[in-house]
Amino acid sequence: PAAVIVAIDGPSGTGKSSTSKAVAAKLGLSYLDTGAQYRAITWWMLNNGIDVADAAAVANASGKPSIESGTDPSAPTITVDGQDASGPIRTQEVTSRVSAVSAVPEVRARITELQRTIAAGAENGIVVEGRDIGTTVLPGADLKVFLTASAGARAARRSGELKGADVAATREALIKRDAADSSRKTSPLAKADDAVEVDTTELTLHQVIECVVTLIEGKQ
Ligand code: C5P
């Protein structure tokens, strides 16, 4: 069958990463975490003294770092100027600033181009997860999935990942980030008209994975 392209979008804490990696591994597809790319460019900005609240400064610097993503779903990697960034991009400092950086149109243009190049080169097909994959990056994807979950479920999952982080504080931070990502002018977080919406609030990860695999098989 032709290389299948799958777009998985949705807000934070809906299980996008766990689902996308597992589905890609199961079907022998590549995997791309686009949030990691926005986190990587944010990390570079912070390391290089760029004021991330200054959109013009961010735009000016947006072409400077070299960002590379490894697309093996069992061991995805992200490097910035050749340096492994997989740890530092998950810090609170980066998480709290990534929305400001990802809202800058020059940043999005640059990262979107990278994403399209990676998807075009994935000979066996790819699962790409993010916020605007179905609407903007890969509007011709074979399957678009939009994952949702209640704010409570999302915060509980994230707090679990962060090992005991305060659920209420996590919930506030998540809601704030999603509001910023949904309200920005350039390619906001949104469900594509032709995306299949899956509410994961009451589902186990295993059930969500099975659901997406079934949807993909229906397209092949
Ligand atoms: O998915 P993750 O939580 O790692 O994404 C981090 C941030 O990257 C999001 O909050 C959003 O600001 C940005 N992002 C984006 N477009 C994407 C993926 C992520 O703007 N396709």
Per-residue pLDDT of 10-22, as tens digits, reads 999 999 999 999 9
How far is the centre of ligand 1, averaged over its atoms, from the C-alpha of 124 (Å)? 25
CB 9 within 8 A of CB 95: no
Q: How confident is the model at residue 220 (pLDDT cuts 50, 70, 90)?
A: confident
Residue nearest to atom 11 of ligand 1 (CA): 99
CA distance 145 to 24: 14
Reported confidence tier of residue 1, pLDDT bands at 50, 70, 90: low
User: What pLDDT does 161 receive?
Assistant: 72
Amino acid 195: pLDDT: 98
Q: Is the per-residue pLDDT at 185 higher than 60? A: yes
Q: For strand 5-9 and strand 126-130, is the pairing parallel, antiparallel, or unpaired?
A: parallel
HSE-CB for 92 with a 13 A CA cutoff: 6
Binned at pLDDT 50, 70 and 90, residue 190 comes out as very high
CB 128 within 8 A of CB 6: yes
pLDDT tens string 61-87: 999 999 999 999 999 999 999 999 999
Q: What's the pLDDT band for 93 if we cut at 50, 70, 90?
A: very high
CB distance 43 to ligand 1 below 6 Å: no
Q: What is the pTM of this model?
A: 0.96
Minimal-distance CA residue to ligand 1 atom 15: 131
What is the rounded (10 degree) CA torsion for 83, 86, 92, 93? 20
113 φ/ψ sector (left φ>0, alpha ψ -120 to 50, else beta): alpha
3-state helix, strand, coil in the chain (%, to 5): 50, 15, 35
- Delineate the domains of the chain, giving CATH numbers in brackets: 5-217 (3.40.50.300)
Considering only 105-109, 162-166, 198-202, which range has the smallest mean pLDDT?
162-166
Q: How far is the centre of ligand 1, averaged over its atoms, from the C-alpha of 203 (Å)?
A: 23
What ipTM was predicted for this assembly?
A: 0.99
With a cut of 80, say whether residue 160 has pLDDT above it.
no
Asked if pLDDT for residue 29 goes beyond 60, the answer is yes
- Each residue's pLDDT tens digit, 108-149: 999 999 999 999 999 999 999 999 999 999 999 999 999 999
